[in-house]
Amino acid sequence: MKKEKFIPVSLPDVTGNEKKYLNECIDTGWVSSIGSFVQRFEEEFAAFCHQPFGVSVNNGTAALHLALRALDVGPGDEVILPALTFPSTANVILYLGATPVFADCQADNWNIDPDQITELITTNTKAIMPVHLYGLPCAMDKIMALAEKHNLMVVEDCAEAHGATYNNKPVGSFGTINCFSFFGNKIITTGEGGICVTSDPDLQNRLSVLRDHGMDKKRRYWHNDIGYNYRMTNLQAAVGCAQLERIHTFIEKKRWVHKQYNTRLADTGCLLPDDIPPAKIVFWLYTLLLPEGTEARQRDELIKHLADENIDSRPVFYPVPDMPPYKMFTRPLPNAARISKRGITLPSHQSLSESDIERICQQIRYWLHKTMP
């Protein structure tokens, strides 16, 4: 029997001006890291975040690394971050010889628990790195109050949350330096790419120098610092400019996708994602928790069942300290463990139709009825 069409978790929408702007780069020859689209994208995306400065880079991990380096994080420093995140958040701390200190997440919104941050602050703590997980903003009022009280820097990891708001302020507008990813599965994409946004002109200058091999801006080929080749190309920025023109449309479509899922899965016993005021989620990837008592083995069986039906899905991130490179930093993280074993991500892209979502939900309901009658 012929299978129904494959439904991926993520699929970029590049049906706007992407091709037009790319052709402009090619026709003019400005295809590398110098070109009008780079500056335009930096300025427009920074404005989208209510920030005056943006420094584009070649991926989201580079943005996080560059931010910590610009803030002089290094050996002997501790950085507090959530245990439930993609490992790049921890990796960049380790790149610089600093120590990641993992906090548990809140049970209701899966984000870093401010009360845990308070308990983990020491004389070596230099920064807090909140991650707006799956598009839901962290409790930024409490986090910023803690940072001010203890004279700490805040680097927001906004890789999954373009356009999300907390108290009607966009993510990326709270911290000292704030970082976004534009990987192909993000709300907007440049293929690969990232950006640091900040309100501090001195940090903007330091970020841009470090991004370009540490080269002096006024003395070409003179290097006052060891920097990196983290530049975004004009080709990538051209795609980003086209994507940014439609970001509000993308966000609204993702909210529509969320509503379709929540309506169809409301009576399944699953914990479904939603706004948690004053945080407004952007539903980067529609991620739910299977009913209480579900084991990781059962969640993985559902993933296999959906794959057999040509439907893509993913598990929630593992708690970072559970994995071999980070075990030396482990500590009790009960909420992260519970969320990780029950969580599943469903197809979430802007091109989903109502019939696609109905088909996905039918298969989930069938599996739940068969497995958890």
Q: What is the DSSP string of 150-172?
A: HT-EEEEE-TT-TT-EETTEETT
Both tokens assigned to 233: 């190309």
Residues in the chain: 373
Final residue belonging to a domain, choices 203, 228, 244: 244
User: Does 1 fall in a domain?
Assistant: no
| Residue of higher predicted confidence among 102 and 108 | 102
Q: Which of 244, 278, 313 is the last residue of a domain?
A: 244
Residue 144 lies in a domain: yes
pLDDT tens digits for range 325-341: 999 999 999 999 999 99
In terms of domains, do 238 and 224 share one?
yes
Q: Looking at the predicted structure, is the pLDDT value of residue 3 above 80? A: no
Q: Kindly state whether residue 9 falls inside one of the protein's structural domains.
A: no
- Domain-located, residue 5: no
Window from 68-72, 111-115, 140-144, 292-296 with minimum mean pLDDT: 292-296
* Distance from chain centroid for Cα 85: 9
Is the pLDDT assigned to residue 102 strictly greater than 90? yes
Res 1 pLDDT > 60 = no
Tens-place pLDDT, residues 28-47: 999 999 999 999 999 999 99
Whether residues 194 and 275 share a domain: the answer is no
What percent of the chain shows pLDDT beyond 90?
96
Half-sphere exposure of 181 (CA within 13 A, CB side): 25
Residue 148 and residue 251 in one domain: no
Do 229 and 269 lie in a common domain? no
* Enclosing domain of residue 108: 18-244
Contacts 24+ apart (CB under 8 A), 329-337: 329/99, 329/100, 329/101, 329/102, 330/102, 331/102, 332/104, 333/83, 333/84, 333/102, 333/104, 333/105, 334/104, 335/104, 335/105, 335/106, 335/107, 335/110, 335/113, 336/82, 336/83, 336/84, 336/104, 336/105
pLDDT (tens digit, 9 = 90+) per residue, 342-373? Answer: 999 999 999 999 999 999 999 999 999 998 76
Q: What is the CATH number of the domain that holds 288?
A: 3.90.1150.10
Query: Domain check: are 84 and 220 in the same one?
Result: yes
What's residue 130's pLDDT?
98
Do 350 and 238 fall within a single domain? Answer: no
Residue 297 has pLDDT above 60, yes or no: yes
- Sequence letter at residue 105: C
Q: Using omega within 30 degrees of 0 as the cis cutoff, is the peptide bond preceding 278 cis?
A: yes
Dihedral sign, CA of 37, 42, 44, 45?
A: positive
pLDDT of residue 103: 98
* Contacts (Cβ under 8 Å, ≥6 apart) of 55: 42, 66, 195, 196, 197, 198, 204, 207, 208, 211
CA distance 93 to 127: 10
Q: How confident is the model at residue 68 (pLDDT cuts 50, 70, 90)?
A: very high
Q: What does the pLDDT look like over 136-182, one tens digit per residue?
A: 999 999 999 999 999 999 999 999 999 999 999 999 999 999 999 99
Token couple for 32? 């590398």
Instruction: Give how far Cα 128 sits from Cα of 14, 32, 65, 144, 156, Å.
Output: 35, 34, 14, 9, 8
Among 216, 244, 272, residue at a domain's last position = 244
What CA–CA distances, in Å, run from 364 to 226, 275, 295?
A: 52, 23, 16
In a domain, 7, yes or no: no
Do residue 172 and residue 75 come from a single domain?
yes
In a domain, 316, yes or no: yes
Cα–Cα distance, 257 to 357 (Å, whole number) = 8
Same domain, 214 and 259: no
Q: Are residues 339 and 205 in the same domain?
A: no
User: Could you tell me the CA-to-CA distances from 91 to 85, 123, 126, 153, 325 in Å, in that order?
Assistant: 11, 22, 16, 18, 10
Q: What is the pLDDT of residues 104-123, one digit of tens each?
A: 999 988 999 999 999 999 99
Q: What is the mean pLDDT of residues 1-17?
A: 90
Summarize the confidence of residues 63-71 as an average pLDDT.
Answer: 98
**Domain annotation covers residue 271:** yes
Mean pLDDT of the chain: 96
pLDDT of residue 306: 98
Total tally of structural domains belonging to the chain: 2
235 and 312 within one domain: no
Q: Which of 90, 103, 97, 102 is nearest to 76 (CA)?
A: 97
Mark whether 130 and 183 lie in a shared domain: yes
Considering the domain architecture, whether residues 161 and 273 belong to the same structural domain is answered as no
Contact 130, 103 (CB under 8 A): no
CATH of the domain at 157: 3.40.640.10
